[in-house]
Chains A and B, each alone.
Chain A
């Protein structure tokens, strides 16, 4: 309990080293500082920020800045936590930039190996910036790849704990493409009206925007939102069912 006497954010870090719960020890200011640092919150917006941070459903346990400090302190388990925490989101972002899902997976793995090497060496001065840092490294790796430039040497595979690929998975691709097409046909067949089917089709496939579609189909924005929400919820449900049965 000696570590409890240390002030500020170090309390959380020291608490981790002492085996205490991060959830109970982490200073409440940390998420707000992170939001302010990014400009998401204006200075002094503490009350609103606290509510928003809660609504965002962020996990206090395994919070990024805490993991950064743990990695710098030599905690190898924190490296795996960092991977589990951010790999999927980073893969989605990189895939959009690279226009290639498979390439994105490789890039994210390389980026994490590079980042972990830096974090072990304590090279990230502001742990609150971990998300921007990971994104920056990943996009640099992608940029280097596009330019054919020499890439920064990643750590040896043995030096970093295995980065399990399942953390990168898109859960909606857990079933085959053919199964997804069957699901979509079923989804379309379940829609109650031809107009709802047309809405879905024109919105997703023909790339028409909501205001124009509402006018064209004589729909209220609320009806549009309902159809879209139900379609997505049903798609999620059917994919989950198919994944379980498989």
Chain B
């Protein structure tokens, strides 16, 4: 077998476990560009692959949207409570970040388990790259009782596969806006003093990253 990525793609798709991993990586924008392109062409012409992709996507979304007791009293959130690393909160952040990207704010959060209701107008922190890595962000004061903060990160033009890592834990995929910022809604309790907010992306195929150390900046700074 050739080592060519596209040749490897064909063989990975033929193996059920690797097919699943490939679909997952594509949905999360984790495939290298040449492989992603080949995957997408295959997806367009292969109805079975298209079906597998939509099944995985819809099942994942439905699980994320599900909350409250199930028919047998079993809550999906039980698994979250068993998670010692507390990554459930990151999932909430990911869900909220998607909501922000879609222009939705102030509604009921559909994160399972905690099912929090965010308070509108939270504090907003703008990490502008032009100010330098260690420069304090611009802070726009919101309502102090909000459990979340909005964080805007400047990212360079052409940035793809943008992700935010909080304290080195599970990454949250973000989207660069036309204004040049990637926005996340982050649970305030994740933002302990000293925690690192690391932004990673690929700019024209070259890895790019910026780190910000959270230091409880003063409002209005």
Contact = CB atoms under 8 A, between A and B. Distances in A.
Contacts of B88: 206
Interface of B: 2, 4, 6-7, 9-10, 14, 16-17, 20-21, 26-29, 37-38, 40-51, 53-56, 58-60, 62-67, 70-72, 74, 76-80, 82-83, 87-88, 90-91, 94, 101, 112, 170-171, 175, 178
A144 B154 CA distance: 23
Contacts of A185: 66, 70-71, 76
Interface on chain B toward A: helix, strand, loop, or mixed SS?
A: helix
Please provide the 7 A-B residue pairs with the shortest distance between their CB atoms, ordered closest to farther.
A185-B70, A89-B44, A201-B79, A172-B58, A198-B79, A189-B72, A204-B60
A180 interface: yes
B72 to A, nearest CB: 4
B43 A206 contact: no
A202 interface: yes
Contacts of B76: 184-185, 188, 197, 201, 205
Contacts of B62: 177, 180-181, 183-184, 235
A132 interface: yes
A5 B170 CA distance: 63
Contacts of B43: 89, 92-93
Contacts of A40: 6-7, 9-10, 38, 42
Given A184-B59, A198-B78, 12 more contacts: A42-B4, A89-B50, A93-B40, A96-B29, A99-B175, A131-B41, A131-B44, A177-B62, A185-B70, A186-B70, A188-B66, A206-B87
A134 B43 CA distance: 12
Interface of A: 38-42, 52, 55-58, 64, 85-86, 88-90, 92-93, 96, 99, 131-132, 134-135, 146, 170-173, 177, 180-186, 188-189, 194, 197-198, 200-202, 204-208, 210, 221, 225, 228-229, 231-232, 235-236, 239
Contact of A86 (B14, B45, B178): B45
B78 A225 contact: no
B54 A92 contact: yes
Contacts of A131: 41, 44-45
Contacts of B87: 206, 208
Contact of B63 (A171, A201, A239): A201
Contact of B46 (A89, A204, A206): A89
26 contacts: A39-B6, A42-B2, A52-B14, A56-B46, A64-B45, A86-B44, A89-B44, A131-B44, A172-B58, A172-B59, A182-B71, A184-B59, A184-B76, A185-B66, A197-B76, A200-B63, A201-B77, A201-B79, A204-B59, A204-B63, A204-B64, A205-B63, A205-B64, A206-B80, A207-B171, A235-B58
B91 A172 contact: no
A188 B70 contact: yes
